[in-house]
Structure 1
């Protein structure tokens, strides 16, 4: 019965399709427009409409984001937003139309999401915007606009942010400035030209912006900050900014300015991210390009760029720069931007440099003037092909969780080592319990409550829906922390089956195990179903999985409610801060876990069913067995709290949680009955590998 249910679930996972939502009509979209404004004529078939003021004149445009930027969220469905944009490119309003983000459906509620979207009102599409907070004081004097994210939902709001910007840029290009949305140029890898620095300067390939101390003083003249730069006043003829800008995407230009070692590092980066356009900036003056609080691999806090009046997202490439002889020396950085968002390196673009002064000793007031330079690289270095595609902010997500990912990587490596090469040492009597409980405590605290790395059936169902829709799986990159856990879990399928995640890496599983130990400490009576009922109850999780998969295709709007069969969101994601009935449901399972060992994990967990199906990839029977296992010795079977050992001694790896209890028994000459008999001289006991 169980095998049939698992195969059925696997079959359903591979089949099915789901239609995308239709574009809203005038009446439906008009419900989001605030009077006295109204909707005018349609602007095409992609859901863009004219926005009229009270006098019937064109005031801007309204549209929904999904038709132009269908970036999948964690449920597999895009986040659809209503946007009202004025003729100057400022956001009049941004509202939520629809979404299926699990954290907002029934976790935090939609309130924080709607509050996040309110931050866009009054902002301009020409302003560079970043979700998050600046490091240290890096935000002071910066042209970047920082949008406060939502705790526990940063990845979801980043998806919404990128959807909004991608759709808005398309509307701004086509409706407001007449800029063609043709594919941008990309460097021609086959084009070769021998160049040196003097050639770049003579041909305008390297552009320069020179500002003296006297000129920067003049720019601040008449302001509060006019006398706040003693160095400029002491040396008026000195150089404040001596800025060189070079697009080093084309290989010939790159070879003329970078050392061979730096060029190789950049080439490796571009091989991994072929859509990035690298730009070299050098300041031979005293400006320094960025503030003292700048953090590598983030957006430069005092450099911004634009093209056709729209912002160009810049980010530090985090490459140490060595320049060729003859190239001006100074503060050098390689910045990068993504051509898929519309940046065309063959057309003129503008780099803005913020000159910042502070007035006052305590909580100084920040003053800023902008120094501007234009740059363009000749067409001969580029090709024009491909399509403009919206960028998923994977790099931003990786940057924001760099330290968490580093710690998680070490933890996962340690777990793989403990249950792999060191398995028999860990399974020694006196070692297994403390090591296991220590790992589970870290998994619960760091991976679960801190890192929000609790894997969920919601991700599986979202990936299923995305695959059925033929959509992009890029939404998985928005949560690199969980993605790393998924990666190690899938590796565990091949090496051990489902046990690596269910037994060692699941935060709710760890919480269930601690509930069991608390029940034992309180001397609560322990209940265990009979072998027959144990087998029957284990089939429930496959039935639930099949029902959830069917819901994806039959009633997709109810998937998130159906997925609440998992108490993970309540116990781990929101730390029990939810409506009372969700808390009671999670509490019932933890209470039951005090008398029934990991009852939810063994019998109900639909994610566990997915893990068992994934465990079919297991390539070996990793638990050694002896000829006497099962007949006459039944000790491992009796001690196995998961019921994963058959009467004949065979291991059912689909139910094995890799607790290592049977490994401990097998290795212990004082517990393993065949070894005890062997030690007494009764017989010679052969060992077998088959489980």
Structure 2
């Protein structure tokens, strides 16, 4: 086995034990510092979840880390950890970044755009159908989707962050909030009509009634210190303590049957102002009443509350003077409203809780309370449900967003594969090869690199190895379909051409270096060409660089992203040189060196090139034709090969071949190929027999 092939296998084996340690979980003090006042961190519930309390110490929701609940691998293969706070109705209070290894944010764009993206969750709810992207062609209203502005050049990373937040939040909702329904709630069907009056409302259960006698409420307080604190109840046990009627006024047909025309007009104005509110009519004909003496209009009543699905429903006074329709019970009437956006579904059963209180003592009375329940549901026929917009999977959303780019990439790749496959000899013809190659490299730099952000990186390779070892999903690769397509082409190239397809034709930074080489030739700068011995030694550095990255990832995983900056790709391609000066200086060094040293970084130091060489072991054929006279005696191709990829024997060292096709062009050119030239000078002799590519 050759020395090069042994080194390739050794580097491959070195990658196998790659299993970086996880970052330590943040201490409670760090989490507390991130909680937005007036909320405070409560007790820990396990799995990175804490109770959230308000300024009065009452439960106010949950705070949780996303990494333990939804460890979706980020673009580097490691989960993005965020701190999310939810209120009891599933509304987002805040979302903050804890730790991540997303390469574009670590030392590319910086974390500021990432943190700004997370600020968009404030005020949203897990009931919202949220997508990352711009609502092209849509107006400001009427859409069932909530669009979150992404981050340019980092769409894949923020999509992963978005899916992580939703997955973790829904898990908390299911396990801690006892089943929040994330489907859109029903809303009144304004076109549904049927003849109704109060008698029909009562007969059909559209008006629910809760009747409690004095004797029944007395029984609730029997045996307590409040048992004798209501003399009226003991004097008139059969009289009504509570005679409460409940009607959902959302459906117009029901509202017309329950309200007088003047109140209907007020209700219509309320619908215009607050279209998401569900109006609820309460009529109390007993002596309990609906509100206490300190009640303020347009606030929540203190004696009645509601819940649905085990979670509270926020009620608020609608501040409407109520006049009921003929036939309705006499009593105190008020209209409350519940916000459907907070998860209240009027077509699903919910419960109205009515609190009855008693006081014992004169100066500092002790308050006793009991609760009576009134379940209610309005039939589905009075409502319509918004069409459930099923957001595309992250992979499909990313695919749709890049459909045009992917189509152009497919055309480019098809043309390139055809040129290197069946059209190889025509592509390598003198007069065709140079313009073809420079044109292809221009597309690679401008379209694949700067526009499409298809620069592959060793970071993805290391992330994929980490994902495989830890048994997680490779779905993070789907968030960047453009880059995945380039990876697919590179892997196909392994089988057909070894490393040559990507390193020679599809690497944007490699293309920049080749352009630098041509610029140096045009400027007539002296060229550095290491001796064969030094060239061989320097080519080993890229394997050492790969091994070093693996070693850092094992011993100090928190520094692996910084170490990966050995690749200048992020600076030159991803951020287009908009970075800190030292990163720009590093990338510029290699490009300036390329003026006098042909593709020095690619040949000698690129760890991704080492990975590509390992992948090239899958190559199933020797695709560059050779003759028996190649290498003995002819050495022209070897002398002309700028990559030093042709051995003295004339054979091709495919682990170092970039597929520039210069040797193919010479091989087929009767004016340059020495064996063909000599044969032309010796009439009568058969032409040199080529050794066909396998």
TM-score, normalised relative to structure 2: 0.70
**Match of 2:58?**
57
Q: Residue 34 of structure 1: CA displacement?
A: 3.0
Once residues 141 and 436 of structure 2 are traced to their aligned partners in structure 1, the CA distance between those partners, rounded to angstroms, is 47
Q: Is the 8 A contact 1:103 1:153 kept in 2?
A: yes
- 1:490-529 to structure 2, matched below 5 A, reads 490-529=491-530
Once residues 625 and 309 of structure 1 are traced to their aligned partners in structure 2, the CA distance between those partners, rounded to angstroms, is 76
1:686 aligns with 2:694: no
**Alignment gaps of 5+ in structure 1:** 185-207, 227-304, 311-347, 353-369, 377-389
**Match of 1:373?**
385
Q: Residue 628 of structure 1: CA displacement?
A: 0.7
Q: Residue 25 of structure 1: CA displacement?
A: 4.8
Greater Rg over alpha carbons, structure: 2
Q: Residue 351 of structure 1: CA displacement?
A: 12
**Match of 1:6?**
8
Q: Is the 8 A contact 2:63 2:86 kept in 1?
A: yes
Q: Are residues 18 and 597 of structure 1, via their aligned partners in 2, closer, same or farther at CA, if it must alter by over 3 Å? A: closer
**Alignment gaps of 5+ in structure 2:** 195-250, 254-263, 274-339, 346-376
- 1:147-186 to structure 2, matched below 5 A, reads 147-178=148-179
Q: Is the 8 A contact 1:159 1:392 kept in 2?
A: no
Q: Residue 5 of structure 1: CA displacement?
A: 3.0
Q: Are residues 497 and 510 of structure 1, via their aligned partners in 2, closer, same or farther at CA, if it must alter by over 3 Å? A: same
Once residues 65 and 37 of structure 1 are traced to their aligned partners in structure 2, the CA distance between those partners, rounded to angstroms, is 19
Q: Residue 432 of structure 1: CA displacement?
A: 0.4
CA deviations over 1:404-428 (Å, ceiling 9, x no partner): 1111111111110111110100111
Q: Are residues 409 and 306 of structure 1, via their aligned partners in 2, closer, same or farther at CA, if it must alter by over 3 Å? A: farther
**Match of 2:302?**
none
1:481 aligns with 2:482: yes
Q: Are residues 393 and 609 of structure 1, via their aligned partners in 2, closer, same or farther at CA, if it must alter by over 3 Å? A: same
Q: Are residues 306 and 494 of structure 1, via their aligned partners in 2, closer, same or farther at CA, if it must alter by over 3 Å? A: farther
Q: Is the 8 A contact 2:641 2:663 kept in 1?
A: yes
Aligned-residue Cα RMSD (Å) equals 3.3
Range with greater deviation from structure 2 (461-470 or 440-449): 461-470
**Match of 1:322?**
none
- 1:221-620 to structure 2, matched below 5 A, reads 372-373=384-385, 393-620=394-621
Q: Are residues 225 and 85 of structure 1, via their aligned partners in 2, closer, same or farther at CA, if it must alter by over 3 Å? A: closer
Q: Are residues 600 and 18 of structure 1, via their aligned partners in 2, closer, same or farther at CA, if it must alter by over 3 Å? A: closer
Once residues 609 and 527 of structure 1 are traced to their aligned partners in structure 2, the CA distance between those partners, rounded to angstroms, is 23
CA deviations over 1:280-335 (Å, ceiling 9, x no partner): xxxxxxxxxxxxxxxxxxxxxxxxx999779xxxxxxxxxxxxxxxxxxxxxxxxx
CA deviations over 1:144-180 (Å, ceiling 9, x no partner): 2111100000000000000000100111222224469
Aligned-partner SS, 1:67: helix
Aligned-partner SS, 1:130: strand
CA deviations over 1:586-636 (Å, ceiling 9, x no partner): 000000001111111111111000000100100000111111101111110
Q: Are residues 57 and 391 of structure 1, via their aligned partners in 2, closer, same or farther at CA, if it must alter by over 3 Å? A: farther
Once residues 71 and 49 of structure 2 are traced to their aligned partners in structure 1, the CA distance between those partners, rounded to angstroms, is 15
Once residues 666 and 272 of structure 2 are traced to their aligned partners in structure 1, the CA distance between those partners, rounded to angstroms, is 76
CA deviations over 1:495-553 (Å, ceiling 9, x no partner): 01000000001111111111111111111111110111000000000000011112222
Q: Are residues 438 and 213 of structure 1, via their aligned partners in 2, closer, same or farther at CA, if it must alter by over 3 Å? A: farther
Aligned-partner SS, 2:67: coil
TM-score, normalised relative to structure 1: 0.70
Once residues 502 and 28 of structure 1 are traced to their aligned partners in structure 2, the CA distance between those partners, rounded to angstroms, is 45
**Match of 1:88?**
89
Q: Is the 8 A contact 1:626 1:686 kept in 2?
A: yes
**Match of 2:649?**
648
Q: Residue 690 of structure 1: CA displacement?
A: 6.5
Q: Residue 14 of structure 1: CA displacement?
A: 2.0
**Match of 2:101?**
100
- 1:15-26 to structure 2, matched below 5 A, reads 15-21=17-23, 23-26=25-28
Q: Is the 8 A contact 2:181 2:343 kept in 1?
A: no
Once residues 384 and 27 of structure 2 are traced to their aligned partners in structure 1, the CA distance between those partners, rounded to angstroms, is 43
